Structure 1
Amino acid sequence: MSLHLSIVMPAYNEEECIHEVVETWVDLLNRQFPTENTRLIVINDGSKDRTGAILDSLKPKYPTKLEVVHTPNGGHGNAVVRGYHHAVALGSDYVFQTDSDDQFVTDDFAKLWAKRYESNFILGYRQIRFDAPARLVITRILKFSLFLIYGTYIKDSNIPFRLINGVYLKKLLEQLPVPTPFAPNIFLAVMARKAGQKTFDIPIVHKERLTGTVSILRWKLIKVCIQSFQELAEFRLELGSKVKALKAVDVKQPVKM
């Protein structure tokens, strides 16, 4: 049986908040889609704390709504892509991706959901962002790098708050570079925008992180920024063929509910 909506959520060392975050998003599925087949797919990316154990303890409570996938640590990007492939394999009409760090609110989901018939790829936008100063600087550099390399301006290309048509996501994943880039969500956003999708860039709430630790800081942050820039620059040569393939996709929207 296909799924109307899958929520993909990577998780790494979030034992302090994962229980509440899972319950909050499952509650949204139950409230907004009481008669639909929906799923929260959590990818436990090799957490070293109790995140995995907590997720397993929650599965009996939500047997039809929660799916937990345990994987060796491969980084946020790999976990996201793994979750996307899982959602596509389940036949999801729509796939929504968010993070497990409790920095987003479920109420904002409705803003993206309301636009689902107007675009196959919809992004949120952290208008007021609560992150370390270094991360904010890197985000600004990335924003202008995308404009410089691709002539495309996207307010928050790497945001973990996005809604994608399932059929369109499957085609996007087929065009994603191999091996998986450090920040695959950026590549998906660029391809979708260049292929003519209106991302909307909808303002959403971003909360201060109160639990856990940020895994990429200082020199490591600079290193991955350079890596991402190099990957994006190299991808420039392939973009034309990727966009052509995406434009050929015939996406039939699910029946309005």
Structure 2
Amino acid sequence: MRLTAEPAFVLHARPWRETSLLVEVLSAGHGRVGLLARGVHGARRHPLRAALQPLQSIRFDAVWRGELARLTGAEAVDVAPRLSGEAAMSAFYLNELTLRLSPRQVPQPELFAAYALARERLRDGDPLGWTLRRFERDLLEALGVGFDLRFDGDGEPIDPAARYRLDPEHGPRRLLLDRGQADRAGAATGRALIALGEDRLPEGADLASLRRPIREVLAHHLGPRGLKSWEMLAALAGVVRAPPDAQAMPERDRS
């Protein structure tokens, strides 16, 4: 099968043999696709190499043979967002999460649209924490494992004043009032869940409360092997000692 002028975003690229690349893209019509790009080195091939950088929007031609497609051409659609610091780490996280959870060769139009939005929000400098939480929500929805954030797992309306854990199989679970402070500190506020479900930016502490519960859901679907971006952030936190109360920190975000 041939793919012609297929829109896609580049998720990852790594060297293969001496002159080639193995590239993973999220395509508009075929979901995640693995591409073999042969002979990408040399001055004349610089535009192709530039088009195959992570976060780049491209249109590509390929011939599908087995699990991988052989790339025959690709061109950049625009200029990829130029990011640094926390924004660059957030982009790495988005790409790794998409790469790990999206199945190969399964069309995911909702995920493609969600990725495109997150990419533009990174370009525009939107609050990183909010950009990541929205993408995580949309990713889970696109994969069919998201939640209706209007109700808890028992069908009761979310209480803005309560705190909730997110059960990967059953959705929000309300914490009892007698649970320990550590349990409550690691749970999302009802206000945050309602705001996320309505796509409305929560206040700082409420937004911060979403990070850990959503990560626990993602970890469930990822299985025993976590994300390199999480490991990198944990290592960074070990070098730069953070206050123990992460809720008090500005929600720039640490994915």
TM-score range relative to shorter protein: 0.3 to 0.5
Structure having the higher strand fraction is 2
TM-score normalised according to structure 2 size: 0.32
Rg (Cα) greater in structure: 2
Higher relative contact order (CA 8 A, sep 6+): 1
